[in-house]
Structure 1
Amino acid sequence: MVKHSFSKILWAVGWGVISILTLAQTGCEKKENLNPQDRTYYMGFTPLPYALTPAAIDYTYTQLEQSADIVCHHFDDGVPWVEALKDTAFHPGLQQDWAYRKSRTLPSQKVFLAFTPIRFDRVALASYRAATPNMDMPSPWNTYSFNHPDVKKAYLTYCKRGIDFFNPHYFLMGIEVNLLLKLNPSLWQDYLELHTYVYQQLKKAYPDLPVAVSVSGIDLLEGYTDADHAQQTEGLTQILQQTDFLGFSLYSYQTRYLTGDLPTDMFSQLFSLTSKPIAITETGYPAQRFSVFTNSITFEGTEDKQDRYISQLLTASNHENMLFVINFVLRDYDQLWQAWGSKDDITILWRDTGLIDENASPRKGFQTWKSYLKIPKK
């Protein structure tokens, strides 16, 4: 059975979720349905399956063939540091995963490849990827920081091998990198050294390939989370010096507003942070009500709210000449969540963000998605 990365589901929310407990939730504003004459961006998903079964994996890729013109191959479960440094073969399991993904991506679909040197909890150097994802770092790797010469060499090799294998149209060399600045700022300068080195070397080797990093969009908007706005703004300025476009990881319900009304200028604020091309490298919105931490926090998600979010996002993105939009989860992963024990912790945060529900029924947001997908891409 092909193994896929699920570390996004396990990612620890860094913005202090408990602090939003006392914030009021409000109703939905009226949905606007503003289909443009032309679509400026590609639309896609990751191949994250709703269960770890061959049938679920096949279902997901079949749906991607019909519902996406770009596929995001998102790797957030460690780096094969040892093998990359030696430039030897990666573990067979990782090679098989790469080969299967490539075999199930249509030639007509664009490929967005996302790697990261940052651990999935965004506080340290990425874990080791070998026989299984997110393995403990072997010695002496467990003593290295981002700017160690071996880290630079190994990560660059890993990126090059991924690019050579997948031949992507867009490459992300870091995922939600500003969360490292937020959660462990002592490592930020070390990371920037790696960031600069890898970007410059990749541009020498692949001058025509758009290379970038993504940032947590909600942490760049003042007052949306508990992030230090001045610190985040400075970090963004540093990042933008070495990137071809800027990717936004956007989960608006993980802010002080929860699933209530968002400020009407959220998208315009976010998209005006840079004059460079932009992309929504991952996003999602829950279509069902759920609680976390023993009902301490409740998210009043509904199908209509999800549909409104998708419609507003796709409309705003077209106005901004977006490169592409990735909705991370295609189908709700209730089966996977139940296999983990139906916990009410952070593993549930993205469970209901699929545009197809757990029973394989398309939601309103999926119909909105498909209506935009039918619009000719410029």
Structure 2
Amino acid sequence: MPWVESYEGTAYHPNIEADLERQQNIAKEFEHIIVLASFLAGDRLSLASYAHGETGVKERPGIWADLDFNEPQVIKSYLNYCRDLIARFQPDYFGYVAEVDSAFTDINDNRFSKLRELAKTIYTTLKNEYPDLIIFAEFNLGDRPYMKERSEVISALLPYSDIYALSTYPARFEKIAGDASKLSDNWFTLARRYAADKPIAVLETGFHAEHFMHPKLGVKVSDHDQRLLIPGGQKSQALYTKQLLEAAHQMNMPFINLWTVHDLDALFALLEKNDPETRTSMLRLAMDMGLYDQDGKPRPSLDIWDAWLSLPLQTDI
């Protein structure tokens, strides 16, 4: 977050401005636009770092270092940033926080109370200013124990979201462990229990088409310098794609987004070159989830995706 500039109403760093303009140009190619911003840091527990521009992301400077979710400066800065993104992209859907229930499970946690206060202020303010815009928070969908642990947090935050937008990566849960045939029929319908009367959508999801290998986590593999954390395969990915699309149809989801379309091997090679610690990052979970592999070769899941995409759109539901 460019906290300082958004608060003061001054220009962003040229690098940030250039990146936003790049994304705006890409967005012009599409009929429907979803924009997601977030005030949460990567740990999903604390306030986002400072997007400086010259040096990328760093600790929040000066007084910003100690500010909490519900501070007036944070509220003003984040509202200004959201307004700017809405003006730039004119989105159909606007998300103001990512995976808000990822780390918090206790509604009595003082940090959660402050987060909830910020979420309420951001949502209600933006909704009053943009009544026709669908404004949402992003939640997580996991197995039954995972969801039960977060049920109170979800209930506390769902009033500040027009839809129940989900991040879900079933392969990472132990009972599934990369095998889509172990995914129960009620994986997605489980979301209905928590969605109240909100429409359900999938903001991000994916399934491993290759084994996820990690240098530190998982089972040691003979004659290999990495460990096996989560198995994966093209067959399982194709089955999950089919399950996902069938659920989206049956539940009348307004949208689903895959993460990602193309494998990210080249990106992670670049990231690891600039920051060796990326090699041990759990972000690498997304590296081999593409409908296309690292060489651009289509996987079987692409045929399933394209078959559904070619069907006529139902407008009478």
TM bucket by the smaller chain?
0.7 to 0.9
SS at match of 1:266: coil
Instruction: Give distance in 2, aligned partners of 1:277 and 1:291.
Output: 36
Structure 1 residues 273 and 295, CA gap change in structure 2 (3 angstroms)? closer
What's 1:110 paired with?
A: 32
Matched-pair contact (CA < 8 Å) for 1:180–1:187: no
What's 1:336 paired with?
A: 267
CA shift at 1:345, angstroms? 4.4
Deviations 1:167-221 (A, max 9, x none): 0000001100012414994411000000000111101110000000011111xx4
Instruction: Give distance in 2, aligned partners of 1:290 and 1:179.
Output: 21
The count of residues paired between Structure 1 and Structure 2 equals: 294
What's 2:23 paired with?
A: 101
Instruction: Give distance in 1, aligned partners of 2:208 and 2:233.
Output: 7
TM-score by length of 2: 0.87
**Percent sequence identity over aligned pairs:** 28
Matched-pair contact (CA < 8 Å) for 1:180–1:188: no
CA shift at 1:103, angstroms? 1.2
Q: 1:159 aligns with which of 82, 103, 120?
A: 82
Instruction: Give distance in 2, aligned partners of 1:190 and 1:89.
Output: 29
Higher RCO structure (Cα 8 Å, ≥6 apart): 1
CA shift at 1:98, angstroms? 1.3
Instruction: Give distance in 2, aligned partners of 1:208 and 1:262.
Output: 36
Deviations 1:109-129 (A, max 9, x none): 210000010001212001111
Instruction: Give distance in 1, aligned partners of 2:291 and 2:56.
Output: 27
Q: 1:120 aligns with which of 42, 45, 58?
A: 42
SS at match of 2:4: helix
CA shift at 1:367, angstroms? 1.5
Instruction: Give distance in 2, aligned partners of 1:93 and 1:193.
Output: 32
Matched-pair contact (CA < 8 Å) for 2:106–2:153: no
Instruction: Give distance in 1, aligned partners of 2:112 and 2:217.
Output: 34
SS at match of 2:35: strand
Instruction: Give distance in 2, aligned partners of 1:294 and 1:107.
Output: 40
Q: CA RMSD in A?
A: 1.9
- Mapping 1:210-225, distance limit 5 Å: 210-218=134-142, 221-223=143-145, 225=146
Say whether residues 1:284 and 2:206 are aligned partners: yes
Unaligned runs of 5+ in 1: 1-78
CA shift at 1:373, angstroms? 1.2
What's 2:91 paired with?
A: 168
Moved over 4 A (4+): none
Deviations 1:27-69 (A, max 9, x none): xxxxxxxxxxxxxxxxxxxxxxxxxxxxxxxxxxxxxxxxxxx
Say whether residues 1:267 and 2:188 are aligned partners: yes
Say whether residues 1:316 and 2:239 are aligned partners: no
What's 1:142 paired with?
A: 65
Instruction: Give distance in 2, aligned partners of 1:128 and 1:107.
Output: 30
Please tell me the residue identity of whatever aligns with 2:248: S
TM-score by length of 1: 0.74
- Mapping 1:15-54, distance limit 5 Å: none
Higher helix share: 2
What's 1:233 paired with?
A: 151
Instruction: Give distance in 2, aligned partners of 1:369 and 1:105.
Output: 21
Matched-pair contact (CA < 8 Å) for 1:337–1:347: no
Deviations 1:288-316 (A, max 9, x none): 12322255343221101001001100111
Matched-pair contact (CA < 8 Å) for 1:123–1:183: no
Unaligned runs of 5+ in 2: 220-227
CA shift at 1:321, angstroms? 1.0
